[in-house]
Amino acid sequence: MTGRFFRNEGGYALALTLIMLPAFMGLALLIIDVGRGNNAHSDQAAAVDALALAGARELDGGVDAIVRAKAAMEKVSNSVSFLAMAGDDVHIDLAYSAGTGGDFRVEFLTEIPASDDLPLDAAFIEANRVAPENHDTDGALARYVLVRSDVRPLQSFFMRLLPGGGGDVGVGATAVATYRSAVCNVTPLFICNPFEKEAEGSDLQSAFARGELHARLIKLHPPGSSTAKPGNFGFLQVRGANDNTTASANTIRNIFAGAHNPTCYDNRAVTTKPGAAVSISQGFNVRFDIYNGPFSGQKGVFPAAANVRKGYFGNNACNAALTTDPDFLPFKAFPDNAIMALPGQGVAGAALGSGDWPLNEYWDRNHPTSMTSLTPEAREEMSSFRNVTASDGMVLPSRYDVYRFEIEQDLVGDLSVSVGGRQESGFPQCSNPDPDSLPTDPLRDRRVMFAAIVDCLAQGGGGATEFPVNSFASIFLVNPMQQQGGGDGTIDVEIIDISGHGGNGTLDAFARDEAVLVR
């Protein structure tokens, strides 16, 4: 009997199952914990990703970028589930606080390691962060936002089976995001920030928002002019036939005439063109109905603007020169008043110049009716193009406002008085285009260009140099590019609008913007 009992195999599976049951239960609980941990980590990763992207979207180079980024992040709400086994902690809401950080630790960085293989450790963060005490003033330095969620304890079923009850497993996540924008098919031009050397609070964005650039004429001087080298404007590098070549001077000149620019520029940094750009004025001045050099036979390829009143006259309208006749000079389109004064630093400064430009004199000498005789409705229409609003509703129209008004009111061909039989019509005479083909959209007008604004004084070096971009701007070409000796000379412009914070919003769709995760 005893032998049969030990040889009997009935119930063996049940016995083995009972022996292995604790292991099976432990494995099942471990699998549940792993699933809960993955879900909790995914929730935390989604939370830090959303928070980092919300903050990065505001890092547009404005001095208050960090302040705006914090405000944007405070509006983001996220949740994490499955951390606890039961009760209120099963589902936890996470929030960021600008004052304390809330459930997140946030740093604003100027750089990140060049390779993802390099650690973003405490030493690197300390060396490349914007100090918290400077967040209100140094927002322009912030290029990246690092978000780390507080490590949360995951209550583990499996760990509680171990002797002593085990412990919890920490779950956290980290994300790094930045703001990127590509600007395409624009003229390869950069100009120096006219407010770079001003006192705190007079940065470009704040000054523009206050209207301090409205109707202000900025003279862009090339190297070797009356300003210190490198002048206060220059040209950007243009991609050639392939990505590894630089376009020729002829290609760049054609782009200034209106040809397609194959290069897209990053909103954070641009590379300047090494060497000299030859005869850019020949391409630039096509927009004013002046066809010289290789453009003399390309009137149908590169049309002029809708309004080219510029103070030129002569029998040969294609290459007539600016008159020096004092009797005719009042007919020059826009006089040189309210010029941005030069602080002697090689760039145009923000000090007030000689006051408002003489609008009434310009109008009375170039149109049959005087400015004072215009109806209130007409004067209101003229002011509608302005890029600033005054509290009293009375703002001197800028040159760009008047230019647009002449086009919209069909006043381009107006002529008031001729001097010695010499007159100038604002209508293009050399290219003589079909009036219906002339541009009417302000942001597609041939006398509107786009330029990168950079802080020139903070940058040095020659040849091809990468400049951080302060902003992009739409600029109105006030006069043709002047000649200086045998080369290109001064460009007179008004800034219409700037991209990003402080601008009027006309350039909101100008660039392809996106906040992207980089870690």
pLDDT in tens, 68-86: 999 999 988 777 665 555 5
pLDDT tens-digit profile of 387-418? 444 444 456 788 888 888 888 888 887 765 56
d(CA 76, CA 502): 24
Q: Is the pLDDT of residue 133 over 70?
A: yes
For helices 399-408 and 376-383, angle between their N-to-C axes, nearest 10 degrees: 120
User: Can you read off the two tokens belonging to residue 442?
Assistant: 């302000």
Contact 374, 190 (CB under 8 A): no
Per-domain boundaries in the chain = 12-181, 185-517
d(CA 91, CA 78): 10
Of all residues in the chain, the percent with pLDDT exceeding 90 is 5
Beta-carbon-side half-sphere exposure of residue 61 (alpha carbons within 13 Å):
24
Q: What is the mean pLDDT of residues 432-448?
A: 65
pLDDT tens-digit profile of 10-56? 555 666 666 666 666 656 665 656 556 566 667 778 888 888 888 88
Residue 496: which of 184, 92, 117, 214 has the closest Cα?
Answer: 214
User: Can you read off the two tokens belonging to residue 364?
Assistant: 């009375």
- Which string of b and e fits 95-116 if b means at least 16 CB within 10 Å? bbeeeeebbbebbbbeebeeee
Of all residues in the chain, the percent with pLDDT exceeding 70 is 62
82 Cβ neighbours under 8 A, 6+ residues apart: 36, 37, 39, 40, 43, 90, 154
For helices 12-56 and 65-74, angle between their N-to-C axes, nearest 10 degrees: 140
Confidence of residue 231 (pLDDT cuts 50, 70, 90): confident
Give the type of residue at 453. Answer: I
The per-residue pLDDT for 293 is 82
CA 390 to chain centre: 26
3-state secondary structure string across 467-490: EEEEEEEEEEECCCCCEECCEECC
The per-residue pLDDT for 68 is 92
Confidence of residue 228 (pLDDT cuts 50, 70, 90): very low
The per-residue pLDDT for 18 is 65
CA 27 to chain centre: 55
Which 3 state secondary structure label does DSSP give 454? strand
Contact 327, 420 (CB under 8 A): yes
Q: Is the pLDDT of residue 349 over 60?
A: no
